[in-house]
Amino acid sequence: MNKNIIITIAVKDMKAVFSSKKVWVPMIIVALIICIAVPSCIAFFGLQFDLIGTSTQEIEKPINAFIKDFPNEEMRNTLAAFPTLTYKFVYFFLTFMMIPFFLMVAIINSMVTSSNSFVGEKERNTLETLLFAPISIKDLFLGKVLASLIPTLGISFAAFIVSFIMVNIITYPYFEVILYFNSTWMILMFWVIPILVLFNIILNVLISAKVKTFQEAQQFGGLLVLPIVGIIISQASGMFFLSPLTLFLIGVVLLIANLALLKLVTKFNNRNALFQSQIH
Amino acid sequence: MTNIIEVDRVSKKFNDTVILKDISFTIKEGSINGLLGPNGAGKTTIIRLLNGVIEATTGIMKVMSFDPKIQGDEIRERVGIVTESASLYHDMTAWENLVFFSKVYGEFDPKRITDLLQQFDMLAFKDQLVGSFSTGMKKRISLAKSLLHHPKLLFLDEPTNGLDPEGINEVIHYLRKVNQEEGVTILICSHVLHQLETICDSYLFLNKGRIFEKGTKKQLEEKYLKNVDLVVETGLNPLHSCSYKGYTYSRKGPGQLEFKLSSKEEITPLLSHILNESWVHNCEITNRSLEALYFQIRGGKDIE
């Protein structure tokens, strides 16, 4: 493993991401809307104007029933203690429903950069030159993974910090607790998301090295969003609760999957096969 | 001169298609060699095999005494390559491209990059995006890129493709310079024969995956130039319509006669005869060009 080569490739790819507005602007916009604007707006308009509480007598019953059946006792008690339906909804949404949104942003952003990694080089006719250079396929692969991991995690963490500040400025006077500052969110941000992003990137880079065009890479990569959509639905229906333990276990499973993928990468360390499949 | 490349009965198959069949050749250190043949003849495959990026089905190869199959990285460290497409990052400047590739080769040296940009007359454009360059400028940067790590051997795959005549002359000029000043051995793949005529020391002719002839131009001439076609620009008006002093001729245009001679030795006496009677402004052997030789060689060989 040659650290200098890995860093050289990663820096080159990151520069390419941030020199093209068409690439980095959508990445920032997605994070800005989903991780910052959505929770801030829900918190601000919900609490400030009591949007839900005024004309929702008919939906109060099912929501209260939902709270009553909620699988987590601590959350059930906290929600039950709030005076209005708006408080319940905003608190529930921010502490609970935002989790899959953060996961989704991490997945989308990592896909944008990683699915382009090898196929992008191929489409620019530069993969051939890289394969003619005295660098190992493993170093090339690791450079590509690093080039996707750093911007994705950077944007996810930055979005979390900004969202944390915005949401708490708006909600603290009402709830008098600091939101996002608990074990669930810490495990999510600093355990699950880095491992999930790494998993997604390794998988996408592998796909990118196997497919012929960027479009194909995106199609395959897009499938990875599906489990997150599943989590959103299960969260919203109260079917499945992302407790700290569940999140920790998701992280462990993903970590094992990462190790399996890395094993696959070492098998893939064959210049001959990559060259014959990608260069014509 | 020692052999820098040795290829012995190498074959390459993709699935069931035979790309190269039993090819053998050697390349001398410090020489410039042309690997010539039509599109699809297998020229690019030979370069890829020699670099160890694909593996031969059978046969033995040595590049600087290394085996491409198992010592590919040792070869790639010492070899420069210019692929058919310039293979540069269009969203990066010329300088950024060269810095990136020098780091990839583990030989980052700003002075070397500056020297190469100067050598290829590109220093003034170093901060411009490669995407804004003409094909010729990209080729020059690509050449500079291939020399960053002081290679001993340089492979060029169709280096003149897409270039105008001026660009072709420039590339030929730079290649000669690199060969003379840095002692780099060069192997050029091309299907445009006349462009390489002035630069190559020896040639390999390839068709349908087989090398059907090889040698220096002199060797090829001796072997295949059986008669001499000499076009003379002269005021001579022979009385006979197809023969002059025993030499067969035909009229090519006003003031131009083409003589069919059996050897070069007949040129001097023929010119003496003509000069006794009229003026001579120019004379040229027309069937000794590389292209003419190529067609003669192909014509006389079963190259299927």
Q: What percent of chain B has pLDDT over 90?
A: 61
pLDDT number for residue B201: 92
Query: Tokens 């100067």 identify what position?
Result: B118
**How close, in Å, is residue A142 to chain B by CA atoms?**
14
How many beta-carbon contacts under 8 Å exist across A and B?
A: 66
Bridge partner list, B284: B231
Same domain, B89 and B65: yes
In 3-state terms chain B splits into helix, strand, coil percentages (rounded to 5) of 35, 30, 35
Reply yes or no on whether the pLDDT at A118 is more than 90. no
Reply yes or no on whether the pLDDT at B182 is more than 80. yes
The model's pLDDT over B55-76, given as tens digits with 9 standing for 90+, comes to 999 999 999 999 999 999 999 9
Domain stops at, among B175, B203, B221 = B221
CB contact under 8 A, B104 and A135: yes
CB contact under 8 A, A12 and B89: yes
**How close, in Å, is residue B95 to chain A by CA atoms?**
13
Rounded mean pLDDT, A246-272: 85
d(CA B101, CA B103): 5
Residue B294 falls within a domain, yes or no? no
Radius of gyration (Cα) for chain A, nearest Å? 22
Reply yes or no on whether the pLDDT at B175 is more than 70. yes
**How close, in Å, is residue B66 to chain A by CA atoms?**
14
Q: Domain range spanning residue A26?
A: 3-278
In degrees, rounded to 5, the angle at the alpha carbon of residue A256 between the alpha carbons of residues A254 and A262 is 100
To the nearest 10°, the Cα dihedral for B154, B160, B164, B166?
30
Same domain, B80 and B209: yes
Residue A62's pLDDT band, with cuts at 50, 70 and 90, is low
Same domain, B185 and B243: no
pLDDT number for residue B160: 84
Residue B248 falls within a domain, yes or no? yes
CB contact under 8 A, A16 and B89: yes
Rounded mean pLDDT, A75-87: 81
Does any CB of chain B come closer than 8 Å to the CB of residue A23?
Answer: no
Residue B295 falls within a domain, yes or no? no
Q: Are B10 and B35 in contact (CB under 8 A)?
A: no
Reply yes or no on whether the pLDDT at B112 is more than 50. yes
Reply yes or no on whether the pLDDT at B302 is more than 50. no
Residue B80 falls within a domain, yes or no? yes
Q: What is the ipTM of this complex?
A: 0.84
- Nearest residue in chain B measured CA to CA from A127: B87
Q: In this complex, which of A12, A125, A131 lies closest to B100 when CB atoms are compared? A: A12
d(CA A195, CA A258): 8
Q: Are B101 and B148 in contact (CB under 8 A)?
A: yes
Residue B301 falls within a domain, yes or no? no
Q: Domain range spanning residue B258?
A: 226-287
Rounded mean pLDDT, A95-120: 86
Domain stops at, among B221, B244, B270 = B221
Same domain, B190 and B230: no
Residue B258's pLDDT band, with cuts at 50, 70 and 90, is very high
Q: In this complex, which of A130, A133, A276 lies closest to B54 when CB atoms are compared? A: A276
> In chain B, which residues have their Cβ closer than 8 Å to the Cβ of A271?
52-53, 72
Reply yes or no on whether the pLDDT at A68 is more than 80. no
Lowest mean pLDDT among A8-12, B23-27, B299-303: B299-303
**Residues B220, B223, B224, B227: is their CA dihedral positive or negative?**
positive
How many Cβ atoms are within 10 Å of B275's Cβ, its own excluded? 12
- Structural domain count of chain A: 1
> In chain B, which residues have their Cβ closer than 8 Å to the Cβ of A134?
73-74, 76-77, 105-106
Reply yes or no on whether the pLDDT at B128 is more than 60. yes
Same domain, B110 and B66: yes
Indicate the average pLDDT of chain A: 85
Same domain, B109 and B250: no
Domain CATH code at residue B145: 3.40.50.300
pLDDT number for residue B271: 94
Residue A66's pLDDT band, with cuts at 50, 70 and 90, is confident
Lowest mean pLDDT among A167-176, B3-12, B188-197: B188-197
Residue B273 falls within a domain, yes or no? yes
- Structural domain count of chain B: 2
Reply yes or no on whether the pLDDT at A65 is more than 60. yes
Helices A21-31 and A137-175 meet at what angle, rounded to 10?
30
The DSSP string of B223-241 is HH--SEEEEEEE----SSS
Contacts of A238 by beta carbon, 8 Å cutoff, 6+ apart: A66, A69, A70, A71
Does any CB of chain B come closer than 8 Å to the CB of residue A136?
Answer: yes
pLDDT number for residue B59: 94
Sort residue B99 into left (φ over 0), alpha (ψ -120 to 50) or beta. alpha
pLDDT number for residue A237: 66
pLDDT number for residue B27: 95
Residue B175 falls within a domain, yes or no? yes
Domain stops at, among B176, B203, B221 = B221
**How close, in Å, is residue A78 to chain B by CA atoms?**
54
| Probe site for chain A from B53, B79, B96, B101 (most A CB atoms < 10 A) | B53
Same domain, B65 and B129: yes
The DSSP string of A62-125 is HHHHHHHT-S-HHHHHHHHHSSSHHHHHHHHIIIIIHHHHHHHHHHHHHHHHHTTHHHHHHHTT
Rounded mean pLDDT, B188-195: 85
Same domain, B106 and B10: yes
Q: Are A34 and A104 in contact (CB under 8 A)?
A: yes
Q: What percent of chain A has pLDDT over 90?
A: 38
**Phi, psi (rounded to 5 degrees) for B58:** -140, 165
CB contact under 8 A, B53 and A5: no
Reply yes or no on whether the pLDDT at B301 is more than 80. no
d(CA A166, CA A176): 15
Reply yes or no on whether the pLDDT at A235 is more than 90. no
Same domain, B212 and B64: yes
